[in-house]
Amino acid sequence: MAEPDKRPEIDRRIALDARDWIVRLASGNISDAELQRFRAWRDLSPEHGRAFERERVFWQQLQILDGRSDGTPPFRAPRSPRLSRRGFVIGGGMAAAAGIAATVALPRLNVMSGADHLTAVGEQREIPLPDGSVVTLNTDSAIAVDFTPGLRLVKMLRGEAEFQVRPDVSSLFRVAALGGNSDALGTIFSVKAVDNMATITVREGRVRVAGAVTPTGSGEGGEGNVELAASEQTRYAAGTRPSPASAVDAEIIFAWRSGRVIFEGLAFSAAVAELGRYVPERVVLGPGANRDVPISAMFSTSDALAALEALAKTQGLAARRIPGLIILIA
């Protein structure tokens, strides 16, 4: 036990360490080894755990004060009715950007502190699992792995991943995301959990998808379950049942595995959102953009900013960058 006169200094050091871990976790740019060091630090004593929780709550309260619960920066129109690029950035964009540095990464805090493996924005990583299966994480993604006898459970905490599953009839392979489960045996499939929507796509084999269930609950025989075969996809929001299976072009869905994004008739706003996953800033469509115009194109994920700029030019828009934000505006 620390001497009484040294206790305030120790508490101050622990608080500073907690704040440092908050910043590193929120950035998303943290390695698996650093995650292990974070957990070791947090578990050193009850004081360490409480200090981290106090800092986490403090930063989340800042986010609430900014008026957002999901970490996305608010879109504020400029006071002037003239929507020039300069007027927009000064009248609205800069006002929005004022709180972005403290808020845009906050949703990562809970995710990153519970992750076993993760990637930074723009990074992809291949991870061998204990059973010999392989998961490949796409940009800004995180998973937690919990293997027990009879159940190989991977929790998709954020982002997108491809799973190459090693067959094992004695142990079910399951990916849990947004309150739903995807069960597979000897297959290749992807799970994407972005913007409160889970998308499951099968490349090879078969996958059974159940929505509104617990990660360890039974996925067999449930009402509303969907069976997916190769080149089929289903989607569900948190707490809902999966949509009926639909045919998709697996080469388009899995193009990110080769460093590409391919759009075939995708709405402009959806194409912008997809490219936005590969840049650290939040991407916002300003006034004058036609959100619904279909886009058919192929871009490299290694230069997503240039891709966004090229996409903006198709509508005569410019990509304006301010801290934490990219605005596409006429």
Whole-prediction pTM: 0.72
Q: Does domain 118-248 have CATH number 2.40.50.100?
A: no
CB 120 within 8 A of CB 93: no
Structure tokens at 39: 């957990």
Q: Where are the alpha helices (DSSP H) in the chain?
A: 7-27, 32-42, 46-65, 85-88, 94-97, 100-103, 108-113, 250-253, 268-276, 304-313
* pLDDT for position 78: 34
Q: What is the rounded distance in angstroms from the CA atom of residue 98 to the CA atom of residue 103?
A: 10
Reading the chain (330 residues) residue by residue, the pLDDT tens digits are 455 556 677 787 888 888 888 777 766 667 778 888 888 898 899 898 888 888 777 766 555 444 444 443 333 333 333 333 333 333 444 434 434 444 445 556 667 778 899 999 999 999 999 999 999 999 999 999 999 999 999 999 999 999 999 999 899 999 999 999 999 977 999 999 999 999 999 999 999 999 878 787 765 545 579 999 999 999 999 989 999 999 999 999 999 999 999 999 999 999 999 999 999 988 998 877 899 999 999 999 999 999 999 999 999 999 988 888 898 987
| DSSP H or E run through 260 | strand 260-267
Beta strands at 180-184 and 188-194: parallel, antiparallel or unpaired: unpaired
Q: Nearest 5°: phi and psi at 123?
A: -95, 150
* pLDDT for position 86: 36
Bridge partners, residue 21, by sequence = none
* pLDDT for position 250: 96
All structural domains of the chain with their residue ranges: 4-110, 118-248, 255-329
Place of tokens 């991870």: 127
Q: How many residues are recorded in the chain?
A: 330
| DSSP H or E run through 328 | strand 325-329
Q: Which CATH class is domain 255-329?
A: alpha beta
CB 175 within 8 A of CB 236: no
Structure tokens at 46: 């009850």
* pLDDT for position 12: 79
Does 118-248 match 255-329 in CATH topology?
Answer: no
